[in-house]
Amino acid sequence: MAGEENIKNLLKISGYSSTAIEYFLKKVNVGIIEEEDVIDWLGDIPKQKIHCVCLAKRTLKFALNEYKQE
């Protein structure tokens, strides 16, 4: 499975954890992720950085939608 190894390597290089990579490869449904969930999970982040969290969540959602359409 050279394709799967390439995907693993790409995700690893991109900074994804081993757990996230396995979830992706197994297509594990982790449910709906809200911006508030991410902010809570990150803990005490400065208020001026909350927009970064929101942008990252929206970018992830866009990428997943693009992936689903292929």
Question: 2-18: per-residue pLDDT in tens?
Answer: 788 888 898 999 999 98
State the pLDDT at residue 41: 83
State the pLDDT at residue 13: 92
Q: Please, what is the angle between helix 18-26 and helix 2-13, to 10°?
A: 140
Clarify whether residues 38 and 69 are in a common domain.
yes
pLDDT tens figures, 23-62: 888 887 767 878 888 888 888 889 898 999 889 888 988 9
Domain hosting 65: range is 31-70
State the pLDDT at residue 1: 55
Global pTM reads 0.49
Clarify whether residues 16 and 2 are in a common domain.
yes
Q: Is 44 left (phi over 0), alpha (psi -120 to 50) or beta?
A: beta
Clarify whether residues 43 and 56 are in a common domain.
yes
State the pLDDT at residue 51: 92
Clarify whether residues 25 and 39 are in a common domain.
no
Clarify whether residues 25 and 49 are in a common domain.
no
